[in-house]
């Protein structure tokens, strides 16, 4: 449905798409030029016309999609809680390749120049060839990796729900360092300059509402911690 609503100075609503979306949308949609890609909790990836919301194509996975899709060079990469990552033709939704894993995948994939990184609930992250989906290496965590890995300057950073933070080489997955933050981590690390920032949940009376901890990218040394009030 197309609507033009003046809501007291707010941006007018151009359209609403509800005919083809029947469940929650957990991850943010991804817009590429005139197409919006949406993953839904009832197992669908939809491509919508960004100008009017009309459905262009619909691909169904085996379980919910919680992570935002990623796009490059005409290919849409999407993960699913069905334990797979899919590479789809962004024009028509046809499967170019699919790679299954042992654990469900809550976060979206992350790209560098020639590899795509995926985290899973089997306590691992994986690096795949972006063209074929063939696994190039895997690196271990100590529990579920809920958030997406973060790629920066030849290093991949990730954290698990036990609060362990890891840095590994982006091309070969070699271990670089491990650190610790209080509480479960369900988000991606953030890298800015020579610092890695990790947000974690509360775990005790000393850290009731969570914490933000900063580490050195060089060796994982803790720089400071801020406890949420």
DSSP H helices in the chain: none
Q: Which two tokens stand for residue 63?
A: 């379980």
Nearest in space to 170 (alpha carbons), one of 105, 108, 117: 117
Can you tell me the distance from the alpha carbon of 217 to that of 176, in angstroms, rounded to the nearest whole number?
10
Counting Cα atoms < 13 Å in the Cβ hemisphere of 186 gives 8
Helix (H, G, I), strand (E, B) or coil at 216: strand
User: Which residues, given as ranges, of the chain have pLDDT below 50?
Assistant: 1-5
CB burial of 93-121 (b: ≥16 within 10 Å; e: otherwise) equals beebbebebebbbbbbbbeeeebbbbbbb
Q: How far is CA 129 from CA 80, 84, 98, 124, 213, in A?
A: 18, 15, 12, 17, 32
What pLDDT, on a 0 to 100 scale, did the predictor assign at position 204? 61
Can you tell me the distance from the alpha carbon of 38 to that of 21, in angstroms, rounded to the nearest whole number?
9
- 76 phi and psi angles, rounded to 5 deg: -105, 125
């Amino acid at each position: 449905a197309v609507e033009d609503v003046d809501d007291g100075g707010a941006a007018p609503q151009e359209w609403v798409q509800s005919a083809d979306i029947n469940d929650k949308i957990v991850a943010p949609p991804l817009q590429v030029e005139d197409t919006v890609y949406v993953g839904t909790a009832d197992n669908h990836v939809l491509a919508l016309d960004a100008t009017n919301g009309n459905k262009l194509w619909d691909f169904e996975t085996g379980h919910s999609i919680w992570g935002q899709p990623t796009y490059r060079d005409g290919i849409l990469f999407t993960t699913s809680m069905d334990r797979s990552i899919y590479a789809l033709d962004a024009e028509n939704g046809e499967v170019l390749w699919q790679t299954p894993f042992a654990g469900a995948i809550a976060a979206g994939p992350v790209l560098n120049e020639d590899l795509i990184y995926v985290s899973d609930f089997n306590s691992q992250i994986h690096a795949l060839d972006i063209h074929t989906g063939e696994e190039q290496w895997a690196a271990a965590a100590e529990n579920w990796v809920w958030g997406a890995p973060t790629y920066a300057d030849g290093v991949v950073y990730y954290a698990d729900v036990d609060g362990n933070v890891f840095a590994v080489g982006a091309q070969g997955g070699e271990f670089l360092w491990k650190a610790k933050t209080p509480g479960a981590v369900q988000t991606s690390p953030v890298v800015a300059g020579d610092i890695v920032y990790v947000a974690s949940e509360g775990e005790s009376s000393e850290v009731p509402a969570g914490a933000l901890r900063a580490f050195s990218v060089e060796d994982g040394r803790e720089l400071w911690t801020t406890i949420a009030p």
